[in-house]
A = this chain, B = another copy of it.
Amino acid sequence: MRIAIDLMGGDYAPQAIIEGALLLARAYPEDRLLLVGLPQVKTAFPDLPDNCLYLDCGSVMAMDEDVRGLMRKKDSSIWMATELVKTGEADAVISAGSTGAQMAAATLLLGRIPGCERPAIATVVPTAAGAKLLLDVGANADCSPELLLTFARMGAVYAEQLLNYDNPRVALLANGTEEHKGNKLVREAYALIKGSDLHFIGNLEGRDILTGNYEVIVCDGMSGNIAIKSMEGAVAMIMQLLKQELTSSLKAKAAAAMLKNNFRNVRKALDQEEYGGAPLLGLSGISIVCHGGSSAKSIFSAGKLARKCHTNDFVNKLTAAFMAEPIQ
């Protein structure tokens, strides 16, 4: 397959992004990678593998740049990379840059699936019961109950097609598990999803996200973003505390050295890099959103996800699911 990669987006761009692209190029020599970046980046990486093609862009959408400016920056890396999918020159696009800009470019260039009012970002969560799905995690801060039902449908198709779950259990994220919990949005969405043909299991709380007794948790983009970033913050704090303690004395250092592999296993179980990307759901094309702090490994994982979406014909399956189950 052919993957367009925005080299300019992300905290460690272009270095980490290029390194991730090179990992992909070597792992999948049959693929073709279209690397979109500023001309000066190309000169820094003169020896690209044969299956990498470098394409010059003229500008970059900054992380905090107003998305409305995108229409005046059609030479930006994210616009040009997404355009390659629109024109059929690429099968997917990957970026770790401004999510707003990526979503705007994808919506404008690729279009939405009929029945999906607004795209969502779904993230795979490494839980105690395997990989599960949480959406939306940041694309839509304000949602309607109908939009949450759309997210529930998209999440269920994702869980079936890409995570291989049969009849995936769908839940809503709330401040309690009882039916009357949640804000007005959640309570209204509860009734809608309960009335649908989805396998709805009611409300779950923040602490349930990592237990994994569900396949899909649906929420508005602000709640989802708060949930994952709060968990990230907690993990970072514990790792920091452990590091302090385990280097606080010679004895601690010696014991910690004996546990090196054990700590590595813990880190691995928590490793978001393993999942490294999330497709924008609801668009007529594959656009993989990566964390701003993406490493080369994250980009590599995002590439594997793009391949999975492509080989599973995910977008067409999602479209078919929406055709079969029109929103009331």
- List residues of chain A with CB under 8 Å of any chain B CB: 64, 66, 128, 138, 141-142, 173-176, 178, 180-184, 186, 205-211, 219-223, 225-238, 240-242, 245-246, 248, 251-252, 254-256, 258-259, 262-263, 265-266, 269-270
Q: By CB atoms of chain B within 10 A, which of A175, A207, A210 has the most?
A: A175
Q: Which residues of B contact A226 (CB under 8 A)?
A: 173, 175, 205-206, 219, 223, 226-227, 230
| Copies of this chain in its oligomeric complex | 2
The answer to whether B175 touches A225 (Cβ under 8 A) is yes
Q: How far is A199 from B180 in the complex, measured between Cα atoms in Å?
A: 36
Q: How far is A64 from B202 in the complex, measured between Cα atoms in Å?
A: 15
Q: Which residues of B contact A183 (CB under 8 A)?
A: 141-142, 220, 222
Q: How far is A43 from B280 in the complex, measured between Cα atoms in Å?
A: 61
Q: By CB atoms of chain B within 10 A, which of A186, A205, A223, A248 has the most?
A: A223
Q: How far is A252 from B225 in the complex, measured between Cα atoms in Å?
A: 36
A227 to chain B: closest residue by CB: B230
User: Can you list 29 A-B pairs, Cβ within 8 angstroms, ordered by A?
Assistant: A141-B174, A141-B182, A175-B221, A175-B222, A206-B225, A206-B229, A206-B232, A207-B229, A209-B233, A210-B233, A210-B236, A210-B237, A211-B237, A219-B226, A223-B223, A226-B230, A227-B227, A227-B230, A234-B238, A237-B270, A241-B265, A241-B266, A241-B269, A242-B266, A245-B262, A245-B263, A245-B266, A246-B259, A255-B256
Q: Which residues of B contact A174 (CB under 8 A)?
A: 141, 222
> Contact partner of A248 among B181, B186, B240, B262, CB < 8 A?
B262
Q: How far is A235 from B209 in the complex, measured between Cα atoms in Å?
A: 12
Chain B proximity of A295: nearest CB distance (Å): 17
> Contact partner of A241 among B181, B232, B270, CB < 8 A?
B270
Q: Which residues of B contact A236 (CB under 8 A)?
A: 207, 210
Q: How far is A39 from B156 in the complex, measured between Cα atoms in Å?
A: 51
Q: Which residues of B contact A245 (CB under 8 A)?
A: 259, 262-263, 265-266
Q: Which residues of B contact A241 (CB under 8 A)?
A: 265-266, 269-270
